[in-house]
Amino acid sequence: MLVGEQPGDKEDLAGKPFVGPAGRMLDQALADAGIARDETFVTNAVKHFKHEMRGKRRLHKRPNNYEIERCKIWLDRERELVEPTIIIALGVTATRSLTGKTVTIAKMRKTPVDMADGTRLVVTIHPSALLRIKDEADKRAAYGEFVTDLKAAKAAARRG
């Protein structure tokens, strides 16, 4: 199971998660990690697209803790239905929703965590973070770390 932050503009319009630029980045990283996206349940911690209008454009706004908590019931229900052995939290908002704590990605990133229900949690960056990196060498390095995180999740799922 992959959990992102919230739908973006493209996802909101399509009614499906990760179909925009971050979704294309995620698809490539999953392929490079040897994970079949069509065998993975993909969702978001927050179910609505929080945005502000800038002219005719709808620009993303990060959900606050209240919004994360209000949507947690839906994520918990998805977890009950899917029964994943491993969850990959993509970014701070997903991690906050799944752990109930505000954490930094760097502190949780390298080691899978056993959750109270026995599910393993792997924390990594959100693929949209890669899109914001301007320097190509830095972007390649960050992408490599992202793929390594996904491979670690795949390995942890096999052990689980």
Is residue 55 within 8 A of residue 65, CB to CB? The reply is no
Q: Where are the alpha helices (DSSP H) in the chain?
A: 9-14, 21-33, 65-82, 92-99, 105-108, 127-131, 136-159
Question: Smallest Cα–Cα separation from 93: which of 116, 120, 60, 117?
Answer: 60
Question: Smallest Cα–Cα separation from 8: which of 65, 77, 62?
Answer: 62
Other CB atoms within a 10 A radius of the CB of residue 159 amount to 9
Structural domain boundaries of the chain? 2-159
Q: What's the pTM value of the predicted model, to 2 decimals?
A: 0.92
The CATH class for the domain spanning 2-159 reads alpha beta
Provide the residue-wise pLDDT of the chain in tens; the chain has 160 residues: 999 999 888 888 898 999 999 999 999 999 999 999 999 999 999 998 876 778 887 676 889 999 999 999 999 999 999 999 999 999 999 999 999 998 899 999 978 999 999 999 999 999 999 999 999 999 999 999 999 999 999 998 887 6
